[in-house]
């Protein structure tokens, strides 16, 4: 009888931990802190905020793809593509079959005096066959797409440097 009570106590404890261990972040998170129409993030600790006029989320290909584009006035931008988009949820950037889900951060340095000397550097994720980060879609309405993200990108066509993108969130107009 004592063993039965111990087994039942163990079973109830495991069940309690299992059911309370799940949170909204398992389904796409809380949506982050981005203001209306913008994408925000930290790039190696430096703050980024896009402009609403150059930021949007598009659900394309009959709802199967999510495309996010957001840039600021300094010529810096983020872009995300999720293939096999299925609404609210967490989407890994890279890793096996998820290699088609991607994120990138771009810095463009425009030389006003000689535009041909302008440079563009792109840090992309994934850059190998591992998971480099994730994009979490927390809310989709007819007008908005909200969520969060983080990733590590590599400048694969440049100096091979890495940039760590943290505290990313978006609250973008849906196209």
**What is the block-wise mean pLDDT of the chain (175 residues), using blocks of 10 residues?**
37 31 52 93 98 97 96 96 95 84 95 90 94 97 97 95 98 96
Q: What is the pTM of this model?
A: 0.81
Strand partners, 134: 92, 150
Q: What are phi and psi of 100, to 5 degrees?
A: -80, -15
d(CA 123, CA 156): 7
> What is the reported pLDDT for 22?
32
> What is the reported pLDDT for 17?
30
> What is the reported pLDDT for 27?
62
Provide the H-helix boundaries in 37-160.
none
Strand partners, 145: 140, 172
Interior/surface letters 110-139, b for 16+ CB within 10 angstroms, e for the rest: eeeeeeeeeeebbbbbbbeeebbbbbbbbe
* Nearest in space to 80 (alpha carbons), one of 124, 47, 114: 124
């Amino acid at each position: 009888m004592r063993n039965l009570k111990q087994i039942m106590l163990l079973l109830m404890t495991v069940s309690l931990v299992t059911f309370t261990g799940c949170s909204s972040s398992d389904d796409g998170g809380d949506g982050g802190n981005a203001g209306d129409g913008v994408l925000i993030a930290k790039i190696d600790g430096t703050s980024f905020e896009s402009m609403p006029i150059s930021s949007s989320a598009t659900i394309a290909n009959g709802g199967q793809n999510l495309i996010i584009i957001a840039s600021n006035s300094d010529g810096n931008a983020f872009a995300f593509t999720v293939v096999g988009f299925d609404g609210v949820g967490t989407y890994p950037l890279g890793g096996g079959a998820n290699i088609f889900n991607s994120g990138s951060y771009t810095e463009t340095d425009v030389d006003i005096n000689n535009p041909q000397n302008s440079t563009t550097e792109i840090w992309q994720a994934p850059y190998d066959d591992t998971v480099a980060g994730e994009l979490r879609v927390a809310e989709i309405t007819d007008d908005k797409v909200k969520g969060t993200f983080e990733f590590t990108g590599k400048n694969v066509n440049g100096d091979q440097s890495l940039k760590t993108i943290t505290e990313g969130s978006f609250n973008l107009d849906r196209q």
